[in-house]
Amino acid sequence: MKAAIIKEEDRIDKILHRVKSDSRRITVRSGEKETHAAITTIDHRTLQLSPNGVFVPESTQLTISFMIGGDSYVGHVTILSSAGGYLIVDKPDSLENRVVRRTARIFVQGQLFSRFHIIPEENEHKEVNVATAPPRLAPIFFELQRDVPDIRKILLMIGNELKTICPNTEIKLHKDGEPLAEEVQLVRRFKKPFWISDTTNAKDLIKDIVSNDIFNYSLLFKEMKSAGADDQKIGAEILARQKRYTDTGIASIIVVPVRMFESVIGHISLVSLMPVVRNFRISDVYYVMALADIVSEALAKARLFKLDTGAAFDIPVINIGSGGVYLAVNSQYIIKFLNVRMKLGLDLHIMNRVIETVSEIRRIDFSGDAANVALRFIQVKPDDQIIIEQYIRNYLDYVRTSRPKYSQSTPDFDE
């Protein structure tokens, strides 16, 4: 594996912005602990990382790594602050670029199909430390530690906890095509919490919030201004929303996303109604964010290891080599649950035989609503390995004799 050190700031910025724009998952390591995360924001000196689930670093020093186009990148960062499940870190001053060695492969899209199921890791989701949980949340954390937590029970307990802040609360998982309030639509779009402390104060709808992981209508109105709206138009839009809140009796509002990896699959909302007014504080937002993380963790744990693509071989293989495969996955439901380093029980239908493997996800390349998934074989029976290699030889012999259009340039798995 060849390696090179990248120190040019402009080049590092371009690589990190590509990771963010492509929604690529990165691996975050702290000592013996490891999780996956996404880059949610980038500025001239810092990155905001959104880890999957609960992640408590062992120190302020982190190692981050990710894949782009078959190359592996590794960098070292320092945690500057953390709040609401996010980590603010400094930009790496260098990246180690490792060009990954590949095995020979053949392009078989439309000719070879597979199926798979997720293999649970031992001690998966065991990072929650009940001893450090607030006493009133301990029952929730105890339930979360079960192999298959009772989602209804967790939602009921979190709902009761929310009512200690405000009686008007909602925990909702979204369905395709259902109408959603404007605030919820914005939360799904910007993927962070929406908060207005005092709807009677027009400035509260657009004021700058110190924390960049919480927003109000300012992001929407900035977009409108960039699109050509003048101050009079924007002023009218602000007053229209303020009137809507007055007409519906809403004095203060919080809407927090419920995530499944990078996707927003639901929300938690709190609404303070007139005349009994409780203006929500930023501390309330962060507390609800922590509760939303618990919901996300419980949903992932309850659903993740039930995921199975079914008995049919209907997942297309793009290319295959002796060491792994590259799959085309078009189901948004399935894609939500896949993660780099996850282990799958992958079955291939080759030469009238079912080849059973244990494979590891090495890379996920997102493209719109679909994703291509690179898998490396980590366990194959010797006889099945012979079948795979014979299949590849037969195909290459066919290529040499018939000379069809054939490309070796297709993205493949990483060895």
Helix ranges restricted to H, 191-230:
218-226
Q: CA 406, CA 395: separation in Å to the nearest integer? A: 11
Q: Which fold has domain 105-123+308-402?
A: Thrombin, subunit H (2.40.10)
Q: 187-232, pLDDT tens digit by residue?
A: 999 999 999 999 999 999 999 887 788 999 999 999 998 888 899 9
Q: Looking at this protein, which amino acid is placed at residue 306? A: K
In the numeric block, which tokens belong to residue 172?
A: 């909702």
Residue with tokens 């990246």: 95
pLDDT band at residue 412 under the 50/70/90 scheme: very low
Contacts of 86 (CB under 8 A, 6+ apart): 40, 48, 49, 50, 51, 213
Q: Specify the pLDDT at position 306.
A: 61
In the numeric block, which tokens belong to residue 359?
A: 């494979």
* More reliable by pLDDT, 133 or 135: 135
Q: Is residue 2 scored above 70 in pLDDT?
A: no
pTM over 0.85: no
Contacts of 410 (CB under 8 A, 6+ apart): 105, 107, 318, 319, 326
> DSSP letter string over 127-171?
---GGGS-GGGHHHHHHHTSSS--HHHHHHHHHHHHTTT-S-EEE
Q: What is the largest CA-CA distance in the chain?
A: 82
- For residues 308 and 334, is the Cβ–Cβ distance under 8 A? no
pLDDT, mean of residues 49-70: 84
Strand pairing class (95-99; 71-83): antiparallel
Residue with tokens 């018939």: 402
Q: Is residue 126 scored above 50 in pLDDT?
A: no
> DSSP letter string over 348-384?
EEETTEEEEEEEEEEEEEEETTEEEEEEEEEEE-HHH
Distances (CA, A) of 284 to 171, 252, 279: 16, 11, 10
* More reliable by pLDDT, 49 or 306: 49
Domain spans, the chain: 2-99, 105-123+308-402, 130-304
* Average of per-residue pLDDT values in the chain: 84
Contacts of 164 (CB under 8 A, 6+ apart): none
CATH architecture assignment, domain 130-304 = 2-Layer Sandwich (3.30)
What pairs with residue 266 in β-bridges?
173, 258
Q: Specify the pLDDT at position 409.
A: 41
In the numeric block, which tokens belong to residue 88?
A: 């603010």
CB neighbour class for 28 (10 Å; exposed up to 12, middle 13-18, buried from 19) = buried
Residue with tokens 């180690």: 96
Q: Looking at this protein, which amino acid is placed at residue 388? A: I
Q: 350-389, pLDDT tens digit by residue?
A: 988 999 999 999 988 887 778 899 999 999 999 999 999 9
- For residues 116 and 346, is the Cβ–Cβ distance under 8 A? yes
Residue with tokens 């922590």: 290
Contacts of 203 (CB under 8 A, 6+ apart): none
Q: Is residue 19 scored above 60 in pLDDT?
A: yes
Q: CA 364, CA 413: separation in Å to the nearest integer? A: 10
Contacts of 275 (CB under 8 A, 6+ apart): none
Q: Specify the pLDDT at position 3.
A: 60
Q: CA 121, CA 117: separation in Å to the nearest integer? A: 13
Of 22-36, 57-71, 385-399, give the range with the top mean pLDDT: 385-399
* More reliable by pLDDT, 33 or 269: 269
Q: Specify the pLDDT at position 375.
A: 94
What pairs with residue 96 in β-bridges?
5, 74
In the numeric block, which tokens belong to residue 309?
A: 């693509």
φ and ψ of 286, to 5 deg: -65, -35
CATH architecture assignment, domain 2-99 = Roll (2.30)
Q: Specify the pLDDT at position 388.
A: 94
In the numeric block, which tokens belong to residue 305?
A: 């290891």
Q: Specify the pLDDT at position 147.
A: 66
pLDDT band at residue 331 under the 50/70/90 scheme: confident
Q: 332-355, pLDDT tens digit by residue?
A: 767 877 888 889 999 999 988 999
Helix H or strand E segment including 99: strand 95-99
